[in-house]
Structure 1
Amino acid sequence: MSRLIAAIDDTVEVEYGQFVLQEVSMSRNALGLPVPTGSWTAVGGAGGLLLHSSATDHYPTVRVELWDGTPPGDERSGWAEVLELTCDLATEVRLQSVTATFGEHTLQIPRPGVHHVRAAVGNQSDTAELGEGSFETGVERWLIQLWPV
Structure 2
Amino acid sequence: MPNLLTAIVDRVDVEYGQFVLQEIPMTRNALEVPVPAGDWLAAGGDGGLLLHSAGTDHRPSVRVELWDAEPHAAAGGWDRVVELRCDLGERVRLQSVTATQSPRVLPITRPGPHHARVHAGGRAETAALDEGTFAEGVEGWLVQLWPA
Give the TM-score normalised by structure 2: 0.98
Query: Alpha-carbon deviation of 1:104?
Result: 2.8
1:142 aligns with 2:141: yes
3-state SS in 2 of match to 1:126: helix
Q: Which amino acid aligns with 2:114?
A: H
2: CA distance between counterparts of 1:7 and 1:77? 18
Hey, what does 1:17 align to over in structure 2? 17
CA contact (8 A) 1:18 1:97 kept: yes
Counterpart residue number, 2:125 = 126
Deviation readout 1:6-41 (Å, 9 max, x if unpaired): 000001000000000000100000001111222111
Q: How big is the shift at 1:78?
A: 1.0
CA distance in 1, matches of 2:27, 2:41: 24
Aligned length: 148
Residues 86-105 of structure 1: CA deviation (Å, up to 9, x unaligned): 10000000000000001230
Q: Is the 8 A contact 1:76 1:120 kept in 2?
A: no
Conservation of the 8 A alpha-carbon contact between 1:79 and 1:120: yes
Q: What do you get for the CA RMSD once the two structures are aligned?
A: 0.8
Give the gaps of 5 or more residues in structure 1.
none
Residue of structure 1 in register with 2:4 after alignment? 4
Aligned to 1:31: 31
Partners of 1:86 and 1:117 within 8 A in 2: yes
Structure 2 counterparts to residues 20-59 of structure 1, below 5 A? 20-59=20-59
Please, which runs of 5 or more residues in structure 2 have no aligned partner? none
Q: SS state of the match for residue 14, structure 1?
A: coil
CA distance in 2, matches of 1:39, 1:85: 15
Q: Which amino acid aligns with 1:146?
A: L
With normalisation by structure 1, the TM-score equals 0.97
Instruction: Give, in angstroms, the shift of residue 76 of structure 1.
Output: 5.6
Residue 60 of structure 2 corresponds to which residue in structure 1? Answer: 60
1:137 deviates by 0.3
**Secondary structure class of the residue paired with 2:125:** helix
- Tell me by how many angstroms 1:77 deviates: 3.9
Question: Identity over aligned residues, as a percent?
Answer: 60
Stretches of 4+ aligned residues off by more than 3 angstroms: none
